[in-house]
């Protein structure tokens, strides 16, 4: 059965209401944590999540959206983690740290997403020594090549993210060339082959584990070091204490908290020292502060690789 050809204007328009100081789509979708959202102008964002093509825009307190197929009723509460009390985090964490307070004010409404774990593992393996625009192109290329065609809407084709079984040794040259992954292609395929052998429910099992245990399990995958594991923990597994340490966070930590690390490379000890410092200062919500400070640094250094 071929995918339908549709127009956003003809799809049912839905909405929800939320405090705009606690939900900003631009900061949330554009801060580097997810790679399938596109700013198409006029305040509209399009993306593919959970097998659905989505268009969404904030209009004051109203979040207006359409999707194909229809999103489940609790989708936005789950995906945007609307059950997390961001206002309380601003109040409590901002009171303890001036740098966090300034970032909260500048990027008010940036929320961590609850993403699909397998997709998050796959996309973050692609981030090593890479820039966000290139990662986005690679992810879109993989979806176009091996994902299912959901629909073509206003001339744009939307595809699901491919499952682990779609990645095989035969796909390596295509990943290297057409998705511009280079050496990451072989590592990615090995990781996907392992995930494909894991039992159904592996993601739920990792969510139920403590951070250190989930992180260790992820680091058993090819291409998954501490930074990638912590990204998956933070952006997909509800481990808010996870602090991914990359080039941006290392530079920020030296600038703001740990000047004595200025002459050291990002060794395992330095990584743990930086992440530990964030957790000492911000506790179980350290990952939220990390993302706000990361985005501040990213905006200042747009051409710097993610790691």
Q: Write out the catalytic residue numbers.
A: 227
Q: How many CA atoms lie within 13 A of 74 on its CB side?
A: 4
Nearest to 6 by CA among 155, 143, 148: 155
- State the helix-helix crossing angle for 247-256 and 286-300, rounded to 10 degrees: 100
For 90, the token pair is 């601003």
Nearest to 108 by CA among 49, 31, 55: 31
8-state DSSP, 304:
S
Distances (CA, A) of 233 to 36, 129, 244: 19, 20, 9
Residues in the chain, overall count: 307
- Cα separation, 219 vs 268, in Å, equals 13
Backbone angles phi, psi at 251, to 5 degrees: -65, -40
- Cα separation, 212 vs 301, in Å, equals 31
Backbone angles phi, psi at 243, to 5 degrees: -125, 95
With the C-alpha atoms ordered 243, 248, 254, 255, is the resulting torsion angle positive or negative? negative
* Phi-psi category of residue 230: left, alpha or beta, with phi > 0 → left and psi -120 to 50 → alpha: alpha
With the C-alpha atoms ordered 25, 31, 34, 35, is the resulting torsion angle positive or negative? positive
């Amino acid at each position: 059965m071929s995918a339908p050809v549709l127009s956003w204007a003809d799809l049912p328009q839905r909405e929800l209401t939320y405090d705009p100081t606690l939900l900003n789509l631009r900061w949330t979708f554009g801060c580097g944590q997810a790679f399938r959202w596109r700013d198409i102008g006029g305040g509209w964002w399009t993306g593919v999540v959970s097998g659905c093509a989505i268009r969404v825009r904030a209009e004051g307190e109203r979040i207006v959206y359409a999707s194909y197929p229809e999103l489940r009723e609790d989708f936005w509460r789950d995906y945007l983690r609307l059950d997390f009390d961001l206002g309380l985090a601003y109040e409590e964490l901002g009171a303890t740290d001036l740098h966090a307070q300034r970032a909260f004010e500048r990027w008010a409404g940036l929320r961590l997403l609850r993403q699909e774990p397998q997709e998050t593992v796959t996309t973050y393996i692609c981030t090593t020594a890479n820039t966000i625009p290139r990662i986005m192109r690679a992810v879109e290329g993989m979806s176009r090549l091996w994902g299912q065609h959901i629909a073509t809407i206003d001339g744009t084709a939307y595809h699901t993210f491919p499952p682990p079984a779609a990645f095989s040794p035969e796909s390596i040259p295509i990943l290297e060339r057409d998705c511009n992954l280079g050496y990451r292609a072989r590592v990615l395929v090995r990781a996907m082959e392992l995930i494909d052998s894991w039992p159904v429910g592996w993601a739920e099992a990792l969510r139920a584990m403590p951070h250190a245990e989930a992180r260790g399990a992820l680091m058993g995958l090819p291409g998954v070091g501490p930074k990638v594991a912590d990204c998956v923990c933070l952006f997909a597994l509800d481990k808010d204490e996870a602090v991914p340490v990359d080039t941006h966070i290392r530079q920020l930590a030296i600038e703001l908290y740990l000047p004595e690390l200025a002459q050291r490379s990002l060794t395992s000890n330095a990584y743990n020292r930086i992440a530990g410092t964030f957790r000492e200062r911000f506790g179980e919500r350290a990952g939220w502060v990390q993302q706000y400070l990361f985005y501040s640094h990213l905006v200042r250094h747009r051409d710097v690789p993610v790691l």
